[in-house]
Structure 1
Amino acid sequence: MIECSACRSKIPANNNNSKAVARAYVRHRSDVSYKTRFLNLLLVVGDCSLVGLQPILVYMSKEGGRFEFSPISVNFLTETAKVFFAITMLLIQARQKKVGEKSLLSVSSFVQAARNNVIFAVPAFLYAINNYLKFIMQLYFNPATVKMLSNLKVLVIAVLLKMIMKRRFSILQWEALALLLIGICVNQLRTLPEGSSAMVPVATGAYLYTLIFVSVPSFASVYNEYALKSQFETSIYLQNLFLYGYGAIFNFLAILVTAIFKGPSSLDILHGHSRATMLLICNNAAQGILSSFFFKYADTILKKYSSTLATIFTGIASAVLFGHTLTINFILGISIVFISMHQFFSPLSKVKDGPRDGILEVVDSQNSQS
């Protein structure tokens, strides 16, 4: 028998069938490629929609130019909403399980899953720190500078993927990531007022906060991808239940610490919230859920490109709907970003597979030994 090393299809070994096996493997690889591309397209479109809608909801949530609610309460309610979504999906999966399959929500299964997924406490804790750092950075840098500094995450994420996930990148892909960083910076340079300084005058510890601001969310994203893919057969909703559960716990502890310093009145997590903030919480929850699908079924780099595209589409929508001017920096920036994306995902830039990938093996039909 001749067996394809990719799809494991077997046919009788004769001189006329080797080409048929090769054609079958090509069709199999094409089907997988089309499914992967379609899934990636759905993820990117959904992420662009949610990320593009977020600035509008943030603007609508302001009253008198400031926020009347606690940002920590928004993070806590967002994590709680994601927990309820994960539980709902697990209940749906439990009703659709086949006869003889062990329920995901049984006590023994849940305890075993809790032991296997304790790893999610790490990215949940890092995400909680990152949500707090977003506000700390505003004390030391202008908002436009904060956005440009966050672009350094692109290269940090790539380095962490190489170290933690053993991901291989070609020279062209490294150059594409550098182009992405340059393109975003060129685009955002227009938001820094002429003659203004990037840093606030009193900047003690600013560089340390910058290092943490760049490294913590990058490590959280990569480690989250590692945790999700390390148990690929486990239901993503079960994994999300523990990730979001840990996130809710850490944010609740932050609320308790805030209450110690500001008084019991800060325990009212619904204070200052409106319909706009509720929509913002739902949007943030949907982004977090979609990100988990990125990390498990795609990768962190695609998520970064998707977020960049969302920013571009937001700028174009602002010009169409509100008459905002598209500067030459914006045109140059998005041109560089699109070139970077084409270069990174081009087949010519992919790392070559090993020599045994896709080869044909001769198999003994009697003892199944290759």
Structure 2
Amino acid sequence: MIECNVCHSKLLPPMTTAVSKAYHSNRSKSSKLHALKILLVVGDCMLVGLQPILVHMSKVDGRFKFSPISVNFLTEVTKVIFAIIMVLLQARRQKVGEKPLLSISTFLQEAHNNVLLAVPALLYAINNYLKFIMQLYFNPATVKMLSNLKVLIIAILLKIIMRRRFSVIQWEALALLLIGISVNQLKSLPEGTTALGLPVETGAYLCTLIFVTIPSLASVFNEYALKSQFDTSIYLQNLFLYGYGAIFNFLAIIVTAIIKGPISFDILQGHSKATMFLICNNAAQGILSSFFFKYADTILKKYSSTVATIFTGIASAALFGHTLTMNFILGISIVFISMHQFFSPLAKVKDEGPDGKLEMVDAQDLRLKEASFIDMSAGATEDASHRVGSDERKLLLPT
């Protein structure tokens, strides 16, 4: 058994193994971060739910009077300023003997170690522009539901890149999520509407494919990069990530100015109070996401964003008169069933530790949750006790 584990660990790519160790090390402290995860989920629901509402309010006669790239650039600049302030505050609280954050050698070394953050920064720059394009052709609730399609692609990428393991029940929950989103999407666009100059069917599906794939890659690469350098300060990593993002968006502004003329270089043209709120909301959402990716995981982030769909749908109905159709209600119901199924303690699988050995995931916590579940299901005691029996645990523990 030990030889098999050793052989299996040798088959893992070196970079994947490093990420796996950092990831499992982080998960071993998850009980201490439970309160943080709750705050992240609540904050994410509010910010993500509000984002498409603010984008919709920023439109004038169905169009944007400002450059979406300028909004993205100002958002990245705002996040850079926040990261700098937090790095300075963290440096002041450092103890004697710790590696100084503000030293040039430390900064250059950490910048070299976290150069991979340039990849998600570029993908996010593309995705943030696509968000505005999608808002021109879909109502806010639909955009939010479409973004939840990312969860299945993210799960596949996590399995390939970070070697995450999901149970059959969890894969079924993800499939159920897609069904719920599809139910909501039925007849979401008026007949005859065009998107990007293409027929509805072609344009909508093409936009959806790009809108789903790019941010999924960005999220997984972001989690990969943050957790592979887990010892690096989150604020320093944010500084690198947002710095790259600001550079990419600034380059896009320059290219736009070359194509459309110098007037496009005015990054404040066409902005209003709604866009200023949008910039602050997007900045807060991006900062919150980095904590999700480092201290929680991408799947939890996407499911928490799903909850924001309810807020988005209700708010858009109240503010803009959008109808909450039966498709929307049914879709939301299916999505919640999917969430319950995915995070159910009975759906959890045994994880593989960083050394390649099988170990029980939160065995004590799982046993307690199963006990409460059994109290609600008469006659299931024997099956549950067998599921976490001592004999089975002995077989899973290394010898």
Q: Tell me the TM-score normalized by structure 2.
A: 0.74
Q: 1:190–1:327: 8 Å Cα contact kept in structure 2?
A: no
1:110 corresponds in structure 2 to: 107
- 1:179-204 CA distance string (max 9 Å, x none): 111112212336333x4467677459
- Distance in 2 between the 1:104 and 1:36 partners? 24
2:186 corresponds in structure 1 to: 189
2:14 corresponds in structure 1 to: none
- Distance in 2 between the 1:241 and 1:350 partners? 35
Unaligned runs of 5+ in 2: 1-27, 353-357, 364-392
Does 2:56 correspond to 1:74? no
- 1:188-241 CA distance string (max 9 Å, x none): 336333x44676774599576654433221111100000001011111110010
RMSD: 2.9
- Distance in 2 between the 1:231 and 1:201 partners? 44
Of 54-63 and 304-313, the range deviating more from structure 2 = 54-63
- Distance in 2 between the 1:199 and 1:49 partners? 29
Identity %: 76
The structure 2 residue matched to 1:331, chosen from 329, 340, 346, is: 329
What are the within-5 Å matches in structure 2 for residues 140-159 of structure 1? 142-143=137-138, 150-159=147-156
Q: 1:151–1:185: 8 Å Cα contact kept in structure 2?
A: no
- 1:22-61 CA distance string (max 9 Å, x none): xxxxxxxxx9555443222211110111122223322332
- Distance in 2 between the 1:122 and 1:173 partners? 29
Of 222-231 and 61-70, the range deviating more from structure 2 = 61-70
What are the within-5 Å matches in structure 2 for residues 133-144 of structure 1? 133-134=130-131, 142-143=137-138
| One-letter identity of the residue aligned with 1:95 | R
1:14 corresponds in structure 2 to: none
2:121 corresponds in structure 1 to: 124
1:314 corresponds in structure 2 to: 312
Does 2:55 correspond to 1:58? yes
How many Å apart are 1:93 and its aligned residue?
0.2
How many Å apart are 1:113 and its aligned residue?
1.0
- Distance in 2 between the 1:198 and 1:322 partners? 21
How many Å apart are 1:149 and its aligned residue?
5.5
| One-letter identity of the residue aligned with 1:280 | L
How many Å apart are 1:311 and its aligned residue?
1.1
What are the within-5 Å matches in structure 2 for residues 1-370 of structure 1? 34-134=31-131, 142-143=137-138, 150-189=147-186, 191-193=188-190, 195-196=191-192, 202=198, 211-318=209-316, 325-353=323-351, 355-357=358-360
How many Å apart are 1:85 and its aligned residue?
0.5
Structure with the larger helix share: 2
2:15 corresponds in structure 1 to: none
Unaligned runs of 5+ in 1: 1-30, 361-369
- 1:84-117 CA distance string (max 9 Å, x none): 0000000110110011222212111111111111
- Distance in 2 between the 1:102 and 1:153 partners? 38
How many Å apart are 1:293 and its aligned residue?
0.8
Q: 1:154–1:304: 8 Å Cα contact kept in structure 2?
A: yes
- 1:327-367 CA distance string (max 9 Å, x none): 3222211111111111111111011245555889xxxxxxx
How many Å apart are 1:132 and its aligned residue?
3.4
Alpha carbons of structure 1 residues 314 and 249: separation in structure 2 relative to 1, 3 Å: same
Q: Which has the larger radius of gyration?
A: 1
- Distance in 2 between the 1:227 and 1:86 partners? 17
| One-letter identity of the residue aligned with 1:188 | Q
Q: 1:47–1:290: 8 Å Cα contact kept in structure 2?
A: yes
Alpha carbons of structure 1 residues 205 and 119: separation in structure 2 relative to 1, 3 Å: farther
- Distance in 2 between the 1:53 and 1:215 partners? 23
Q: 2:177–2:335: 8 Å Cα contact kept in structure 1?
A: yes
- Distance in 2 between the 1:151 and 1:317 partners? 18
- Distance in 1 between the 2:97 and 2:198 partners? 65
Q: 1:123–1:220: 8 Å Cα contact kept in structure 2?
A: yes
- Distance in 2 between the 1:39 and 1:148 partners? 26
Alpha carbons of structure 1 residues 316 and 116: separation in structure 2 relative to 1, 3 Å: same
